[in-house]
Structure 1
Amino acid sequence: MANSTMVTEFLLVGSPDGWDLSFLYFTVFPMTYLGTLLGNLLIVTVTTADQNLHTPMYFFLRNLSILDMCYISVTVPNACVNSLTGNRAISGAGCATQTFLVFFCAYVEMLFLTIMAWDRYLAICQPLQYLFIMNPQICVRMTLATLISGVLYAGVHTGNTFRLSFCQSNVVYQFFCDVSSLLRLSCSDTTSNMILILVSIIVVGGGCFAIIIMSYIHIFSAVLKFPTRAPGKAFSTCTPHILMVSIFLSSGTAVYLRSSATSDTLQDMVLSAFYIMVPPFLNPLIYSLRNKQVKEAVRRVMQRQLFSGKYKRNKYGTDVTHLNSIMRK
């Protein structure tokens, strides 16, 4: 310890020894990132432009889409640039910022998914009180409370991680600053860190999962009492959210169990990439392809844009702005 040098920067080695993953960083990562941005931007645009989607459910869906764009932007662009330039160094402050943002986005996404499950429970099981309980002020306050608690949650975990001493290797075998990889590099006692992570997973993850499960138990029991055609519509409303929750929780659980059970670098990187990239990428696909209201809203928005474009032309097919410029000349 007396002759050791304290680590001031880290090296994000995105390719384990003996593996050349440059193909992923040049093709799969950019395409997934671009698809995630375009899909979630479409949901944000449609839910904002269409008045029929100005409801609490689509308010939180819009927030979830914005969060997903931020979530994948924290890690994937930096990994692609590092692979392209060959410069994989990241400063200690940059690594701490990336860790903070990953914790923040994962925590807030879990709470948004929980709130959306509770929203569906109120809409189906208590329809008469739904608009009174889920009024715009309550939705905004829940969103602000989620964001503020996310800042505190990420701050505690990031501060607890970077108070450690890193005086051994500075090579992180990940494409981003992953906490489990950083803890393996520390020369300090990481027992308190592991306890904090375990407690937070049990409290936050377990609590949110319990609320989601209880919400859908009540939803399914109430739906079975509906008329013959009503259950299908109710189930189709809840199915996209069930799929999204299942994907997010299963991928997060797989990352946690894998990192605690073994330190195989390639499998850790694959699971981490799945956890970081797949849920944000599938979110717009699930909510747009399986949701009739979203598809109808997309059609209405496109029709309005086409109609407004045709309206600018006169009966001879000449653009009005072009005709005005000719008359001025």
Structure 2
Amino acid sequence: MNPANHSQVTGFVLLGLSQVWELRFLFLIVFSVVYLLTVTGNLLIVAIVTSDPRLHTTMYFLLGNLSFLDFCYSTITAPRMLVDLLSGHPIISFGSCLTQLFSFHFIGGIKIFLLTVMAYDRYVAISQPLRYALIMNRTVCGLLMVASWVGGFIHSIVQVGLTVQLPFCGPDKLDNFYCDVPQLIKLACTDTFVLELLMVSNNGLVTLMCFLVLLGSYTALLFMLRGHSREGRSKALSTCASHIAVVTLIFVPCVYIYARPFRTFPMDKAVSVLYTMVTPMVNPAIYTLRNKEVIMAMKKLWRGKRTFWVPWNTDPQISRGRA
């Protein structure tokens, strides 16, 4: 489908975070550092998980995938935003806008499904440790990852499919630093009430339900830990606490943005910055600061010691994580 046949607008002006040059220059410095830390931290985790044989477990395989997705997620918006901060009139073409929208929801959808898989992995490791290696084997984990990617693709293509049919005849100013559904729908030259309901159902309600299910599952896990030994409980609690922190940082902003009518609120841009820039940066720190295995692997990688690859380990005693 050719968007030009349905629209008189060929591009949009991104209003960004501020029109004041001094603030834009400050944002440029701050978010350049944030993006650099995001890229370094997430790719470092990917390298560590890949290179250290002790981390060839289900839990760290999923963690490495999450770090890679965080890197991709931030790269979809951050480089464009940094360039636009230097431009007086940042303009994005209609096609580029839809591409950014698709990529943004594609990676975001995969992350949501991956976090659900990670919660299931912890549930099996804690509730059925003797059968963990059988249940969460390499084949099952790979299939769950494929399902996450397919789910993210379906979610994203629905967003683009509904948006591309809208007529855009002006205005052409997007009140954000990237293209997303809430801002685009407000510029459409038609009644979008029904479409908003569909978008809220596809985005907001699904995200909210996943968030509540994840919180419920981690709550159940915390109750299960009461019967474990003190050492085992401490390790599992540390891992679950990291997961809960990441889930909260990712899901709460998404629920705020998408599970409500698409209207402009004062905190919208701040929340957008939080989950597109800040959260991908802090996720590596949350997962590694209290994780002794990752810290040891990081030191080993830093010292330049070479290790030989060994088959993927699914030992439940290792996979439950050592914090």
Give the TM interval when normalised to the shorter protein.
0.7 to 0.9
Could you tell me whether the CA contact under 8 Å between 1:14 and 1:21 is conserved in 2?
A: no
Q: 268-277 or 88-97: which moved more?
A: 268-277
TM-score (ref. length: structure 2): 0.87
Deviating beyond 6 angstroms after TM superposition, the runs of 4 or more aligned structure 1 residues are none
Residues 10-39 of structure 1 show CA distances to partners (whole Å, capped at 9, x for unaligned) of: 111114566853134421111111100000
Indicate the residue corresponding to 2:261 in structure 1: 260
Distance 1:35 1:83 in 2: 19
Distance 2:268 2:245 in 1: 24
Separation of aligned partners in 2, 1:55 and 1:113: 16
Q: Which position in structure 1 is the counterpart of 2:318?
A: none
2:272 aligned residue: 272
The answer as to whether partners of 1:240 and 1:290 remain within 8 angstroms in 2 is no
The 10-residue stretch of structure 1 (91-100 or 10-19) with the greater mean CA deviation from structure 2? 10-19
Larger gyration radius, structure 1 or structure 2? 1
Name the counterpart of 2:214. 212
Matches within 5 A, 1:153-192: 153-192=155-194
AA of the residue aligned to 2:92: I
String of CA shifts for 1:32-55, please: whole Å, max 9, x gaps. Answer: 111000000110011001111111
Q: CA deviation at 1:191?
A: 2.0
Q: Which has the higher contact order (CA 8 A, sep 6+)?
A: 2
Mapped to 2, the partners of 1:24 and 1:245 lie a distance apart of 30
Q: How many aligned residue pairs are there?
A: 301
Alpha-carbon distance between aligned partners in 2 of 1:206 and 1:14, rounded to the nearest angstrom: 27
The answer to whether the 8 A contact 1:288-1:295 is kept is yes
Q: CA deviation at 1:237?
A: 1.8
Bigger mean CA deviation after superposition, 145-154 or 197-206: 197-206
CA gap 1:143/1:75 in 2 versus in 1, 3 angstroms = same
Query: In structure 1, what is the equivalent of residue 4 of structure 2?
Result: none
Residue 125 of structure 2 is matched in structure 1 by: 123
- For the structure 1 residues 121 and 23, does the alpha-carbon distance in structure 2 shift closer, same or farther, using more than 3 Å as the test? same
Q: CA deviation at 1:262?
A: 4.7
CA distance in 2, matches of 1:224, 1:254: 34
Q: TM-score, normalised by structure 1?
A: 0.85
Residues 33, 12 of structure 1: CA spacing in aligned structure 2 closer, same or farther, 3 A cutoff?
same
> Separation in 1 of the partners of 2:230 and 2:293?
21
131, 142, 145: which one aligns with 1:143:
145
Q: 1-side partners of 2:19 and 2:82: how far apart?
A: 19
**1:152 counterpart residue number:** 154
Secondary structure at 2:267's aligned position in 1?
A: helix
Q: Structure 2: 5+ residue runs without aligned partners?
A: 1-6, 308-323
Offset of residue 211 of structure 1: 3.2
SS, match of residue 165 in structure 1: coil
2:200·2:258 contact (CA, 8 Å) conserved in 1? no
**Cα distance in structure 2, aligned partners of 1:249 and 1:19:** 32
Percent identity between the aligned chains? 38
Secondary structure at the aligned position of 1:45 is classed as: helix
RMSD: 2.1
Structure 1 gaps of 5+ residues are 309-329
Structure 1 residues 261 and 307 mapped into 2: Cα distance closer, same or farther (>3 Å)?
closer
2:11·2:91 contact (CA, 8 Å) conserved in 1? Answer: yes
